[in-house]
Structures are given as C-alpha cells and as structure tokens.
Structure 1
Amino acid sequence: MLDVGVNGFWGTRAESLRSIAERWFATFEGLRGLDATSFHGWHEAGNDLPSDPMLTPAVPALTEYVERRNTGPDPDVAGYTASLWAHSPGMPRVVVAIHAGGSSPYVTNSVSVSFGSRTVDEDAEVIRRAPEVLHIIADAWDTDTGQVYNRSQLRAVSKHFALKNSDPRCGRAVQLSARRAALAPDGLPGTYTRTAAGGLLIDLTRGGTEAPSDETIIEANTVLRAAGALEPLATPFDRATF
C-alpha cells in the first residue's frame, strides 16, 4: 500500500490569514505545474467522499476557507489548521494540510503533502518526483526543515535516533534552511539543490532514479546530525528557522 509523505516544519511565525492563503496558493500553483492530473479537483476536508464540497484554490477562497475552519479561541496563537484533498482516477489520493500562523513559542508550524493508494505504487511518476514537491513547499513556506519519506523509512529513522515527531531528520530527501545548509557537508549520495531562501535540498533518490535503502538514509542522518545540521530549534521558539 502506498503511504508517502512530504512535510516541512518551522518555528514561531505570526502571519495574517491572507499571508497564509498566499503561501498555500503558491503551493497549489507549484503542484499544478508539477502534475496537473494528480493535483487537480480539490475537496474541502469532510467525509473523504466525492460529495465533499469542492474548492478551486485562489487567495480569496483559501482565506475564507482557513477562517471558516478555525472558529476556536486564539488560532493566531496556536496556529490555523486546514486541509484539502484530491483523488484523480488512476492517481494516488493526495492531502495537503497546513498548521500555520501560530505565534506561540511552543507550537511547531507545518505543511504536508501526503500520498496514499491501494493500487498505485512508488514507481508512479508523481511519487518519484516527491523531492520536487518538497522544493515547492520549502519555497512557498520558507520552512526550517523538511523531508520525503515512506512509512518504513520514517519508522526506521525515528527508532534509530529516538526522535520526536517534529524533530528534524533526513528521509529519502531532506530540506535545510540556510543556516542549517551552511553546516551540511558535501559528499552525501544525492543531488544538492538550492532553495529560494538560500537553503538546501539533498535528494538521495537523484531525481527519482534511485531508491535509497533504510541503511543509506540512516547513514545520511548520522552525517548530518554530526555536522549539527539537524539540531532541533531551541524551545521556546524565538524564530521560524535555525
């Protein structure tokens, strides 16, 4: 069963609803440019059925949707949460979720793009291009760290290093903000690409042409951790990135 995730994290960054919507819209535009078939026909979160209301991503529509999904107290402190899903015929089901705009120094902000299917496997073109999805969300959200992983890889790394859910780590691809990137050594078995904010994306799949083993991914984590590139942000947060 296909279960692949792409995510990004950052510390405290208070943002207006419109700013959040603009970043989310940039994400959807980037995804549409990558694969207009997989990333098409977005539904609001609901019953995970085709009858869930549809939403065409645009800044005003996303602003209204995020506001509507966050009616509790102090979302500007705890962060705004929202998600949309799509499932085109013959493609994986995709969920794009955000937790953003939180000013609390104890709440991690995040964005994720997850893929699931009982019939599509990891050889699918959109899955092989998942590191490009990581690049899209890094540029849209100016994330501190991010990764691409499947469930086995996530478990292997989490168990080996006894990590908490939000701890920085390397999957089959990893994204590092600029100060983290400055600590990352050359020579890991992957391609190195710069992000818009001066960070770094290291792709151990080399553009989807290789399938790194759990052992290779663990070794990459060992090297990056030794260099200090995967140190957690100090809590309480006083910044968005390292």
Structure 2
Amino acid sequence: MTITLITGANKGIGFETAKQLLALGHVVYLGARDTERGEKAAAEIGARFVRLDVTDDALVKSALAAIGAAEGRLDVLVNNAGILASGDIDGPSALRSFDTNAVGVVRVTEAALPLLRRSANPTVVNISSSAGSFWAVTDPGRPEFHLPTALYSASKAAATMLTVQYAKAHPDIKFNALEPGTTATDMTAAFGIGRSPEESARAVVRLATLAAGGPTGTFQDENGEMPW
C-alpha cells in the first residue's frame, strides 16, 4: 500500500488527484481546513479525512501525528493547498499569500519528513505555477506575462525554490515542483479560464507515482521539465 497525503484536497485539483491515486490503490489522506467539507469529500471517494490547515502549525503537526500513528510512514506528500490572493497588494495580503503558498509547504514538509524517511520510495510533489517562473512572466508571448498576480506569482516562485533546496538537502527523497496547467477551479473563476481538474490532476499523479531513482529537484508541467 502507498500512503499518500494531499493538502487542500476537498475540491479542485487536489480532490481529483485523490480520486485518481485511490484508483491506483493508494491509501489517500485528504487534508482540508473545513471538517464538514473535508469529511464529505473523503466519504464521497473513499479517502481518509484529516483536518489540516497549512497556515496552522498545531493542526499540521496533529495531522501528521495522526497519519504516523495509523500508518507508521508516509510515501507520498502532495503540497497542493494554495490561494490566489488577487486584489490589493499590501502587507496583510502578502503575508496571507506567502503563508499559504510558501510557508505552508515548509510547515507540512517539515512535519512529514520523519514519516517520509520511513518510506521505501518517498516522494513530494509541490504544486507550483509557471506564473512564478521568471522565464514565463518576462516573455510577452506567454500568457503568464499578462497575469496581474504579483503576490501569487512571487509566492509560487518561492515554492519552486523551496522544492530545489529540499531536493538538495534530502537526496533520499524526491522533491519536484509542478505547473499543473491552467485549470477551471474556484481559484481561477474570476478569469473564466482553464481545463477540467481531472485533466490537470493527471500531471500531479505522474509525479506522485515516480519510480525509485526518478527525477528530483525539477520544475515540470505535463510535458516535462520547464525553464525557471
């Protein structure tokens, strides 16, 4: 059995990733802030709910402790939880964006590391974005060039950098960052764009199911490695 934790998984890409990994035989822990929504989503697909808010140290530690007590290890961690934080750019908005999209990765990963070290094939997938790629946002021919998402883009750039630094610090664990593709979720509703979460989840699943010896420290989309 492969033991998997997905944060922010009661809807969108996280939920569809949970469904697809369950179909592959994973034991999936569906992490969500809201207990009612999380339990409902988990029950719908046969996952195991764990209350987890990536901005709350105590809840993160409690969630990983519960998984450790039940399973003894963690094989796959998908750091999926994120916010767009569009609108006014100010200190509070910046703190919220970075706390969720970047510091949240640190909180969950640090709490998960002892359990990941007990896995025969430990894997971490950080959901990042090409909106945080210097290469993409400076190319007028790319859609990212035109996105007014300064805080989201900056915090996702931080998430990608955290990925490569974790990969260097823990060579026995695979860490990869993913641009999942523009997806129609609550986050992108204001833009009215994106493909189905099911389609984007396939890219997450590919990185979540890498064989031992697979790539680490990369930034990828569904077609492979991307420039930063």
Higher relative contact order (CA 8 A, sep 6+): 1
Look at both structures and tell me which one has the larger radius of gyration over its CA atoms. 1
Q: Same fold (TM over 0.5)?
A: no
Per the normalisation by structure 2, the TM-score is 0.33
- More strand, by proportion: 1
Per the normalisation by structure 1, the TM-score is 0.31
- More helix, by proportion: 2
